[in-house]
A and B are shown apart, each in its own frame.
Chain A
Amino acid sequence: MLSSQIKSNEIIFGSCNKDLLEEIIFYGIGLGADFVEIFIENTDNSSVLAEEDFITSVSPSFGRGAGIRIFKGQKDGFVSTNDLTKHGLMRSVSQAIEMLDITDNKREVFNGLNKHRDYSLSKTKWINEVPSIHEISEKLLVSTKSLKKNNKIITRKGSYSRNLQEVIIASSDGTYVSDIRLHQTVGLNVIASDAQYRSSGSRRFGSSGMPNEFRLWDHEKAANDVFESSMNMLYADYVDAGQMPVVLANKFGGVIFHEACGHLLETTQIERGTTPFENKLNEKIAHESVTAIDEGISEGSFGSLSVDDEGMEPEKSVLIKDGILKKFISDRAGELRTGHKRTGSGRRQNYSFAAASRMRNTYIAKGEHSKEDLINSISEGLYCKSMGGGSVGATGQFNFAVEEGYLIKNGKLTSPVKGATLIGEAKEVMPKISMCGNDLELAPGFCGSISGSVNVTVGQPHIKVDSITVGGR
């Protein structure tokens, strides 16, 4: 008897929390909220770092917390807490209500939570199926050893991280879901040096919902790739700045579309008035060779989800079809404030962030050309084999570092060049993507924005941009 009383006063993962969640939501609605959403999470993470031939860091962490969001009209108040007792959750609801300064007597109706949709049923064994720290350490050390291919490699690193997140989402529209998410990433980095010359190489791999994926990772292939990249760039000259055609490689080359265009198709940008595409629905915004997709359903991809952080199943959203803008990426607040229907894209880093419209797996669809077709079509330009990070300014201008670049001369790849950055604006560059290859591939990444850092996939086939500003020396 005592045990059940304690349970009913605190969120317990793996148990039915329906009564307590309903009580909290009733409380918020009773105080005048139009809408109440509760997001609760329990995390179990670990990361391992291998440097040279030693494990230098093993970092486990665990935690739990709740984020409570209250809407009144188009305003919302968000409170996060580590206190998952009934008292703690009610106090958070009260705080959110107080912030919104709700004074009217209008009361919404809450008919209780729907039947529990439990997406975690087949996933509860994942925690026992993921590799142990011992197994991870051994494979990382083998990987860093594989990077030691000559004496020019002066720094070798391998890193692994695993995030296991258990979530419960309940809201006053009846939503009541649970899920378990598993993300694993592994990365390799080297620095090469010879006299005054220095270069670096890095690659990252990632998956969602696949406990065995790290075991299947081909570390030898990855090590060869990173090593070759660093060697190719070691003696590279700095690129000359200028306006020129470029070919962007597949996989992580898609980061430019993600940053420069994808973010501008999130409803948060419409809310702020910072996207040039706000009133361009069904208008041409890109070259007719461009079709772009954002989805959360590709099995195992880093940005895939069974259900988003607002309890909606993710959809496949065709954002641009043959150059025509077809859809925006939307969450609950986005639908409320801009009218664009939710797309299952409400995402957040953790309980301490309110969900926002965020990309998932975002890519340009494949075209019909080979990579060689694209390169052969350029007499003088740049081939960007590997992209680094980048950013987009408040007025839409983007800037991306090219990690591994080669000059194109008379349709052939020639010497490697370093120090290149690609500079432009989505509105101007999208119509210049004139050719898309037939070799679409995806790559994992982390995207930081209004609701924190979330796992995403970027991707594209090889693409040709007819003209772009290349920054250099």
Chain B
Amino acid sequence: MNSREITTQISKAADFLNLKKWDYGASFSNDYSVQVDKGEAKQLKASQKQILTIRVWNQSNLVGITTTSDISESGIKKALKQANIASDFGNKNESTEFSPLAKDPIKVKEVKKRNPVGIKKLLTILRGAEVKLLESHESIKSVPYNGLSESFFERVYANSEGAFRSYSKSQAALYLYARAEEKNKKPRSSGSVKLGYGADDIDIESCIKEASNKTISHLNYSSIKTDKYLICFSPESFLTIINAFSSMFNARSIIDGVSLSNKNSIGEKLSTEALNIYDDGLHEKNISSSPFDGEGTPTKRLCLINRGRIKNFIHSESTARIFKTTPTGHAGLGSKVSVSPDWIVVEKSEENFDLKKSLDHSTYEGEFVYIEELNAIHAGVRASQGSFSLPFDGWLYKNGNKISIESATVAGDIKYLLKNIVNIESSQELTTSGISPHIWVDELSITGDA
């Protein structure tokens, strides 16, 4: 069944069950992936997936939902019946409606259509990448985590008031994580991830080079003294921390009492006036962009922090209604509609007079810790309390030399971190989760060799 046929089928079945109001989200995908181990194909995978989520409103305007992978006529009928039963338990405390923007025009990025290159070609590319990475340095003994995948999918949203929107796209990903070993030293590991619209678009050479350089750069390591340090966050690590604490901008989290912000936090000063943060799902560099969210609301660029102050929250339909504003295109369809950011863009504003511009990660000669990548986010972040304690990969820069840090964690409080930003470098870098410059923060605790 295609998406138009599904819509017709749901409409018919809903009429039969006397359900006047419904909407649905569906996705259909074909995925292909390969992994290799020293030149041999390790696991080759293909999958065809379909997922349908239907919401119905009963006569008391309470919402019920069901999700299924059975998109047959009988599966759709069963899903509607189950959703109808679930609606008896719908949330009486907070109503849900269609997004008022579900029929607004959407911006679909024009991307050349890619076709699957096939498992054999994926395998050939990955084998070649593994060989080159192994040959790049004598200490690199294996590439234990590697994979190349392609995904082709279609997403649909439709409702009983005639909204219907869909888009198709493709995405490919290559990841290479190398392991280096040297005599009488601990093994060291690092890697790189690259995305593209198709396998042929991925910059394989830069992925190999990045994985190799990162891994080799950690071979010469030492422990670090537990203390407070001047920190330089790489673009990737700063975006990781902003995403981990994105509940500060999330209206759903605010309503649920799990955010550091509250309804009156718009305008609150969080950081230096030099800091601007946007959520920009439609950014031209965002390969994972989606033109609409789970409720059909168009995706758009939204300013979250302007000159250091909270400017906007991200919303679903119901949170927007509670906050007396419009949905922002950040909803995920579910029994309880979730809200999450798309793609974060960090910028230096024009009000950047208070920054210490001499702090530049490529030229600064004083002592500082460079945090390349933060790990174990799910374990080390207490978003509702604002605290974090995270292991990281990085280097200690001292007297013009840099040495990889053997094993350490960085701990602190997000509000303290944002308030103590002392420089935002000028040049932005593209990562898989957004765009950011290097960000310098004064006085964060590092636990290393006590």
Cβ-defined contact, B391 with A399, below 8 A:
yes
Chain A residues lying within 8 Å of B83, measured Cβ to Cβ, are 60
Q: Is A122 an interface residue (CB 8 A)?
A: no
Cβ-defined contact, A56 with B226, below 8 A:
no
CB distance from A355 to the nearest CB of B (A): 11
Give the interface segment out of B102-110, B265-273, B376-384, B394-402: B376-384
CB distance from B340 to the nearest CB of A (A): 16
CB distance from A269 to the nearest CB of B (A): 9
Bound form: Cα–Cα A83–B336 in Å: 30
Bound form: Cα–Cα A75–B123 in Å: 12
Chain A residues lying within 8 Å of B409, measured Cβ to Cβ, are 399, 421, 423, 471
Q: Is A241 an interface residue (CB 8 A)?
A: yes
Chain B residues lying within 8 Å of A242, measured Cβ to Cβ, are 226, 450
Give the interface segment out of B89-97, B237-245, B276-284, B291-299: B89-97
Q: Is A113 an interface residue (CB 8 A)?
A: no
Given contacts A74-B40, A75-B40, contact A199 B68 (CB under 8 A): no
Q: Which of B41, B85, B375, B384 contacts A393 (CB 8 A)?
A: B375
Contact with B along A66-96 (1 / 0, CB 8 A): 0000000011111111110000000000011
Q: Is A64 an interface residue (CB 8 A)?
A: yes
Cβ-defined contact, B119 with A98, below 8 A:
yes
Chain A residues lying within 8 Å of B82, measured Cβ to Cβ, are 60, 62
Cβ-defined contact, B65 with A391, below 8 A:
no
Bound form: Cα–Cα A198–B67 in Å: 36
Cβ-defined contact, B411 with A471, below 8 A:
yes
User: Which residue of chain B lies nearest to A243 when distances are taken between CB atoms in the complex?
Assistant: B450
Chain B residues lying within 8 Å of A272, measured Cβ to Cβ, are 37, 142, 144-145
Q: Is B99 an interface residue (CB 8 A)?
A: no
Q: Which of B43, B93, B188, B379 contacts A78 (CB 8 A)?
A: B43
Contact with A along B56-89 (1 / 0, CB 8 A): 0000000011111111000000110011011001
Cβ-defined contact, B189 with A393, below 8 A:
yes
Q: Which of B86, B179, B376, B390 contacts A273 (CB 8 A)?
A: B179
Q: Is B49 an interface residue (CB 8 A)?
A: yes
Given contacts A63-B70, A394-B145, contact A399 B91 (CB under 8 A): no
CB distance from B230 to the nearest CB of A (A): 16
Chain A residues lying within 8 Å of B257, measured Cβ to Cβ, are 154-155, 191
Bound form: Cα–Cα A93–B188 in Å: 40
Q: Is B202 an interface residue (CB 8 A)?
A: no
Cβ-defined contact, A472 with B41, below 8 A:
no
Q: Is B303 an interface residue (CB 8 A)?
A: no
User: Which residue of chain A lies nearest to B336 when distances are taken between CB atoms in the complex?
Assistant: A57
Give the interface segment out of A47-55, A166-174, A178-186, A375-383: A47-55
Chain A residues lying within 8 Å of B86, measured Cβ to Cβ, are 58-60, 133
Cβ-defined contact, A395 with B179, below 8 A:
yes
Cβ-defined contact, A81 with B47, below 8 A:
yes
Cβ-defined contact, A393 with B379, below 8 A:
no
Contact with B along A89-130 (1 / 0, CB 8 A): 000000110111100000000000000000000000000000
Q: Which of A101, A352, A395 contacts B49 (CB 8 A)?
A: A352
CB contacts under 8 Å to B, within A113-168, are 133-134, 137, 154-155
Q: Is A30 an interface residue (CB 8 A)?
A: no
Chain A residues lying within 8 Å of B115, measured Cβ to Cβ, are none
Q: Is B168 an interface residue (CB 8 A)?
A: no
Cβ-defined contact, A271 with B380, below 8 A:
no
Chain B residues lying within 8 Å of A390, measured Cβ to Cβ, are 376, 379
Q: Is A215 an interface residue (CB 8 A)?
A: no
Given contacts A273-B144, A394-B179, contact A419 B389 (CB under 8 A): yes
Chain B residues lying within 8 Å of A395, measured Cβ to Cβ, are 179, 186-189
Given contacts A58-B89, A388-B379, A397-B391, contact A99 B49 (CB under 8 A): no
Chain A residues lying within 8 Å of B43, measured Cβ to Cβ, are 76-78, 354
Q: Is B177 an interface residue (CB 8 A)?
A: yes
Cβ-defined contact, A82 with B49, below 8 A:
yes
Cβ-defined contact, A200 with B44, below 8 A:
no
Q: Which of A82, A418, A473 contacts B69 (CB 8 A)?
A: A82
Bound form: Cα–Cα A399–B382 in Å: 15
Chain B residues lying within 8 Å of A99, measured Cβ to Cβ, are 44, 46, 119-120
Chain A residues lying within 8 Å of B312, measured Cβ to Cβ, are none
Q: Is A39 an interface residue (CB 8 A)?
A: no
Bound form: Cα–Cα A133–B89 in Å: 8
User: Which residue of chain A lies nearest to B93 when distances are taken between CB atoms in the complex?
Assistant: A54
Chain B residues lying within 8 Å of A59, measured Cβ to Cβ, are 65-67, 86, 334-335
Q: Is A9 an interface residue (CB 8 A)?
A: no
Q: Is B407 an interface residue (CB 8 A)?
A: yes
Cβ-defined contact, B142 with A63, below 8 A:
no
Cβ-defined contact, B89 with A137, below 8 A:
yes
CB distance from A173 to the nearest CB of B (A): 20
Size class of A's contact patch?
35 or more
Contact with A along B171-188 (1 / 0, CB 8 A): 000000101000000111
User: Which residue of chain B lies nearest to A82 when distances are taken between CB atoms in the complex?
Assistant: B69
Chain B residues lying within 8 Å of A393, measured Cβ to Cβ, are 189, 375, 391
Bound form: Cα–Cα A98–B44 in Å: 10
User: Which residue of chain A lies nearest to B218 when distances are taken between CB atoms in the complex?
Assistant: A395
Size class of B's contact patch?
35 or more
Cβ-defined contact, B89 with A55, below 8 A:
yes
Q: Is B412 an interface residue (CB 8 A)?
A: yes
Cβ-defined contact, B69 with A65, below 8 A:
yes
Bound form: Cα–Cα A83–B47 in Å: 11
User: Which residue of chain A lies nearest to B409 when distances are taken between CB atoms in the complex?
Assistant: A471
Cβ-defined contact, A60 with B144, below 8 A:
no
Q: Is A17 an interface residue (CB 8 A)?
A: no
Given contacts A155-B258, A191-B257, A473-B412, contact A79 B380 (CB under 8 A): no
Chain A residues lying within 8 Å of B69, measured Cβ to Cβ, are 63-65, 82
Q: Which of A78, A80, A420 contacts B48 (CB 8 A)?
A: A80
Cβ-defined contact, B92 with A471, below 8 A:
no
Q: Is B431 an interface residue (CB 8 A)?
A: no
Bound form: Cα–Cα A222–B331 in Å: 33
Q: Is B385 an interface residue (CB 8 A)?
A: yes
Cβ-defined contact, A399 with B335, below 8 A:
no
Q: Is B447 an interface residue (CB 8 A)?
A: yes
User: Which residue of chain B lies nearest to A88 when distances are taken between CB atoms in the complex?
Assistant: B48
Cβ-defined contact, B66 with A61, below 8 A:
yes
Q: Is B45 an interface residue (CB 8 A)?
A: yes
CB contacts under 8 Å to A, within B9-55, are 37, 40-50
Q: Is A400 an interface residue (CB 8 A)?
A: yes
User: Which residue of chain B lies nearest to A136 when distances are taken between CB atoms in the complex?
Assistant: B89
Cβ-defined contact, A419 with B40, below 8 A:
no
Chain A residues lying within 8 Å of B258, measured Cβ to Cβ, are 155, 191
- The CB with the most chain A CB atoms within 10 A, among B82, B142, B389, B409, is that of B389
Chain B residues lying within 8 Å of A100, measured Cβ to Cβ, are 41, 44
Residues of B within 8 A of A (CB): 37, 40-50, 64-71, 78-79, 82-83, 85-86, 89-94, 119-120, 141-142, 144-145, 177, 179, 186-189, 226, 256-258, 334-336, 375-376, 378-380, 382, 384-387, 389-391, 407, 409, 411-412, 445, 447, 449-450
Residues of A within 8 A of B (CB): 48-49, 51, 54-65, 74-83, 95-96, 98-101, 133-134, 137, 154-155, 191, 198-200, 238, 241-243, 271-274, 352, 354, 388-391, 393-397, 399-401, 418-421, 423, 469-473
**Interface pairs (26), CB distance under 8 Å:** A57-B336, A59-B65, A64-B69, A64-B70, A74-B40, A77-B44, A78-B46, A82-B69, A96-B46, A133-B85, A137-B89, A191-B258, A241-B226, A241-B450, A242-B450, A354-B45, A389-B379, A393-B189, A394-B144, A394-B177, A397-B391, A419-B389, A421-B380, A421-B447, A423-B409, A472-B447
Complex A-B, nearest 4 residue pairs according to Cβ-Cβ distance, in ascending order: A63-B69, A241-B447, A391-B376, A389-B379
- 4 further A-B pairs in the complex, CB-CB below 8 A; given A155-B256, A241-B411, A271-B42: A55-B89, A59-B335, A80-B45, A272-B37
